[in-house]
Amino acid sequence: MSNLRKKVAKHQQNRRLAALNMLGTPVASDNEDSEDSDHSSVIGDAIIPNLSQSVIEEELRLCVDDIGEKRASSREVALSRLVRLLSHFYCGSFFDSHPNSKTALLELLLRSVRKPSNTHECMLALKAVALVMVNEGQLEQEDEDLYSLVAPTLKNIIQDNTSPIQVKCQSIDTLAMITFSSASASSVQGGLDYFYKILVSKGSVTTTVVATSDDVLTSDQDEEQDEQELSAHDVQLLLVSTLHAYGLLYASVYGHDRGLKEEAWDEWQSAMPAHLDLLESASKDVRVAAGKNVALMYECSHTFKKLDTFTDEDEDNQNTGLVVDEELSEYEELDDLIDILKRLSTESSRRVNKQDRKTQKSAFRDILKSIEQGEKPKEKLKLGRQRLVFRGWGTV
């Protein structure tokens, strides 16, 4: 047994060394104690300073070096630094100048992702995976290979009924992000189908254990599996993450007149039954997320036609109306949908707390305006001295 442990430890060390070498990181000698290593980092808990490209690259190397540490606390600190670094600085040029560096870093991060017993480390690693994929350089041809490297691990976590709910939700968020940023068109469509299956099953497919013909579950194992079923609250969290994921991919395929209207229409028609069910969820967050997806899909599958009137509130905003393409039939249950949205936009039941009622009313008023009047929502974002304005559900 001791020999086997030594072989496993040696194999893990070799993988770490390979990753570090690909990233150009100086590797300490075997005689140095990794627990006594002292890496000076410019990334702390304070506000991120302005850093030069050389400092960013050195900080990235230090983070990667510490991710290979034996102590979990050291790995968590390194992952936190890496997440902050990738969140604030573009590192695509570094990955371009170091061939295979992104693959090596992702493989290192997947080691932490596969440690669900350490929830904090796993969550940080999942966030880092998404940020690494978003920080893509010019080597776009390798993106699909990287997606294929990461996606199966994320799906395994989502399907594993022993995974903590927060890890499942973060895996869904990360899977949606890497599909959006790096997957091929066919893989994006596959992602839509995958998330749709979770929605239509109301999360039950994420706790399904696929058994082979040779698997025989004892009564104790059956009881253990039943005890691991998700609670109603956990299912709601899972559905909110999945709704956001589905909406992101739908917008990436059909938003801003991308794709064909007929395909957007067909996808909307097939997804509406599941979303209508979720509009009646006991969770305010599920209802709002489902409603925003409905507005998004309606916007993308219809054509905006400018009218001749303008609003006084926003001189840049022209009144628009939504019309259906002549070759496409109107949604048969539109009147019922509008009735549901009106009810949710005027919710007054005391079974829903005051703050939730306020949030829900505000969200569904915007949703109802989009479907009834074709009014696009608008959100503003300030970045330093710049102000960005986002219009339409496909962008907000």
Q: Percent of the chain, pLDDT > 70? A: 72
pLDDT of residue 49: 60
CB 23 within 8 A of CB 105: yes
Q: What are the b/e assignments for 209-218, b being 16+ CB within 10 Å?
A: eeeeeeeeee
How far from chain centre, in Å, is Cα 304? 29
Give me the sign of the Cα torsion angle 361, 362, 364, 368. Answer: positive
pLDDT of residue 259: 74
pTM (global) more than 0.95: no
List the Cα angle 212/159/118 in 5-degree steps.
120
**What gap in Å lies between CA 185 and CA 16, rounded to an integer?**
33
Instruction: Please state, as a whole number, how many other Cβ atoms lie within 10 Å of the Cβ of residue 96.
Output: 14
Half-sphere exposure of 188 (CA within 13 A, CB side): 17
Residues in the chain with pLDDT values less than 70: 1-49, 116, 136-142, 206-228, 303-330, 350-351
pLDDT of residue 110: 95
Instruction: Please state, as a whole number, how many other Cβ atoms lie within 10 Å of the Cβ of residue 271.
Output: 20
pLDDT of residue 68: 85
**What gap in Å lies between CA 218 and CA 222, rounded to an integer?**
6
pLDDT of residue 383: 75
